[in-house]
Chains A and B, each alone.
Chain A
Amino acid sequence: MFAFIIRRLLQIIPVIIGVTIATFFLTWLIPGDPTNVLLGPGASEESRERLRDSLGLDQSLVTQYLIYMSNLLTGDLGQSISFSSPVSEVLFRLMGNTALLAGAAIFVASVAGIAAGTWAALRPGSFRDRGLTIVVLFLNSMPSFWLGLVLILIFGLHLRVLPVSGMPDPQSGLLTLLAHMALPTITLAAWSLAAIARMTRSAVLEVINNDYVRTARSRGVSEARIVLFHALPNAIPAVLTVIGIQMGFLFSGAVLTETVFSWPGVGLAMFQAISSRDIPLIQGGILMLALIFVLINLIVDVLYVYFNPKIRLN
């Protein structure tokens, strides 16, 4: 197990280097003089020259990349134009809000998804099973921001039961916070819920007809016990993988959800960065979210092995 973790850690090093190369190239994609964009339109020729120097823009790509990397390693992600403060500072300040939303969404998606998937798998081909297939199809074909707007329309504007935008300040209490989180959480969770429900359904279907389940049934074990203690634990590794992948996507899906609900996280900041052409912030945000994605995948891989004794003991 330990050796596996070490090996897996070593494996992600080239991926992380690759990720930094890819984000580095984003600056290179900017047409014309990148300092125009990186410093904003009002910058003086002098500060431009200074930036050109510090980024090594007149030197080879390799040198530029090495400069970018050494800056990264010291935590320097550049200067955000729209926030007029260091990108790393902005991202770290907002990351907590995004993580809060993503965490709530993955919780909702996992609980509801596993429940719905198991529920459908117990009666394959039944009305409720086909119903789930249709719901999954629609959730998969629905832009999350549209779902968000529809939820705002229904719960915020017509029924007036839930707040539709922003995040309350910490003094207003947990209940207010939860109320503000309700709609963005559902919106963000919808897509993942569909994926988790589908995976749970097929994973449970795969184990439900196994000998040990049949044995338990013949011993008169209740159906609920069979599902909870015999079928689900064996379906967990497969479901866990999907949950992990979805969690990575949730952090990036936050760009759309946070925009719709004006939730002050990394996603909303990146949306605002688009219109102000704040490329350093976008670049930093992408790098940070991609690294989180890689890290989550690593954790999922480790957990997968941990829950799978067949692999663990080899």
Chain B
Amino acid sequence: MTDFASTTEKDRARLLPVLRRSLGNTSFTIGFTLVSIVVLAAILADFIAPHDPNFANPVIRYTPPLTDGYLLGTDELGRDILSRLIYGARMALVVAIFPTIIALCIGGLLGLIAGYAGSICDTVVMRYFDIMFAFPGILLALGISAAIGPGLNSMIIAMVVVTIPEFGRIIRGVVLGVREELFVEAAHVLGYSHTRILLRHVLPNVLGPALIYGTLQTGRNVILAASLSFLGLGTQPPTPDWGQMLSGGRTALATAGHVATIPGLAIVFLAVGFNLLGDGIRDLLDPRARRGGN
């Protein structure tokens, strides 16, 4: 019991400088703040949204922003845009983070195996990646979700399929480097099993790049998901979704420009957040690769 307490104490002592260093990094701090705001909005949606996001009131449709009671105005059905934006944060986070995690697991595993096992395994996996890279991401995602039929599930499947090779190639590259390190060679000499070497010696070195590229990909996924939604391939109405809100506002661009522009700002807000967060994590984890260089 006392042992346990002392380790958490030690962890806390170690955590403090990390926290201080993280907050000293501008990209990280701004990115973290932006993403946190969206996460909080998503969690607290039930408490902070001023109206029911799906309550339509055609009488007040296209109310301009800054109207009493409707801070950001209303959309084509007279629904409160602010409330839909707040509830839409949930879907935006789900479709950005969820496919990233699944793709990272599958792609990471493929990259790990390809990089570590080498030879025929590597060739097969890399050929598969080459073929996937022959498709521009949005195109393949469009084809897959159109074939399965529009909806949240098919959109997530499509996004996962598209991002697997991205992660696979990055992780493979890292593993190829780690494999040559002295400590891996030492582990081989000591007669450790491949599983043990992979899990205890290779995997920990992969986690950093996985976190960096995972965060950056989440930023790209915000946009990819919004694009698929915009094309009518994402979540179906009436679920509040930023991409869909944007395409809903297109028809009234001339009379009520806010309906289409405001959800776009939310998308940019979240995407900038994840991109800065990813850059920040990269700076913190790998000070050599400072952003100044490339």
Contacts and interface: CB of A to CB of B under 8 A. Distances in A.
A252 B147 contact: no
A52 to B, nearest CB: 18
> What secondary structure prevails in chain B residues at the interface with A?
helix
B260 to A, nearest CB: 5
B51 interface: no
Contacts of B292: 124-125
A271 interface: yes
B250 interface: yes
A283 interface: yes
Interface stretch (B62-70, B83-91, B170-178, B228-236): B228-236
16 contacts: A15-B130, A21-B131, A29-B147, A31-B149, A138-B268, A140-B271, A141-B219, A143-B264, A144-B227, A251-B136, A252-B139, A253-B136, A274-B150, A274-B231, A286-B140, A289-B139
B231 A256 contact: yes
Contacts of B231: 255-256, 259, 271, 274
A179 B233 CA distance: 31
Contact of A274 (B146, B261, B275): B146
Interface in B205-256: 219, 222-223, 226-227, 230-233, 243, 246, 249-250, 253-254
A294 B136 CA distance: 10
A290 B139 contact: yes
A14 B127 contact: yes
Given A18-B130, A255-B142, 18 more contacts: A14-B127, A31-B148, A124-B292, A141-B223, A143-B264, A143-B268, A146-B260, A146-B261, A146-B264, A153-B257, A157-B253, A157-B257, A249-B136, A252-B137, A252-B138, A279-B147, A282-B142, A293-B135
Interface in A255-291: 255-256, 259-260, 270-271, 273-275, 277, 279, 282-283, 286, 289-290
B58 interface: no
A145 B146 contact: no
B127 A26 contact: no
B198 to A, nearest CB: 28
Contact of A146 (B148, B268, B294): B268
B293 interface: yes
Interface of B: 127-128, 130-132, 134-140, 142-144, 146-150, 219, 222-223, 226-227, 230-233, 243, 246, 249-250, 253-254, 257, 260-261, 264, 267-268, 271-272, 275-276, 291-294
B264 A253 contact: no
B127 to A, nearest CB: 7
Contacts of A19: 131, 134-135
A142 B271 contact: yes
A269 B219 CA distance: 28
Contact of B134 (A199, A253, A290): A290
Contact of A153 (B132, B219, B261): B261
A180 interface: no
Interface residues of A, number: 57
Interface of A: 14-16, 18-19, 21-23, 26-27, 29-31, 124-125, 133, 137-138, 140-146, 149-150, 152-153, 157, 198-199, 202, 205, 248-249, 251-253, 255-256, 259-260, 270-271, 273-275, 277, 279, 282-283, 286, 289-290, 293-294
A286 B227 contact: no
B268 A150 contact: no
Contact of A282 (B143, B232, B261, B267): B143
Contacts of A14: 127, 130-131
Nearest to A297: B134
Given A145-B230, A146-B264, A157-B257, A29 B144 contact: yes
A277 B138 contact: no
Contact of A283 (B143, B271, B275): B143
B134 A293 contact: yes
B62 to A, nearest CB: 15
A124 B291 CA distance: 12
A145 B254 contact: no
Contacts of A15: 130-131, 134
Contact of A140 (B138, B257, B275): B275
A199 B222 CA distance: 23
Contact of B147 (A27, A145, A199, A289): A27
Nearest to B272: A141
B142 A270 contact: yes
Contact of A149 (B127, B138, B250, B271): B250
B136 A146 contact: no
A23 B275 CA distance: 32
A152 B261 CA distance: 11
Contacts of A251: 136
A150 B261 contact: yes
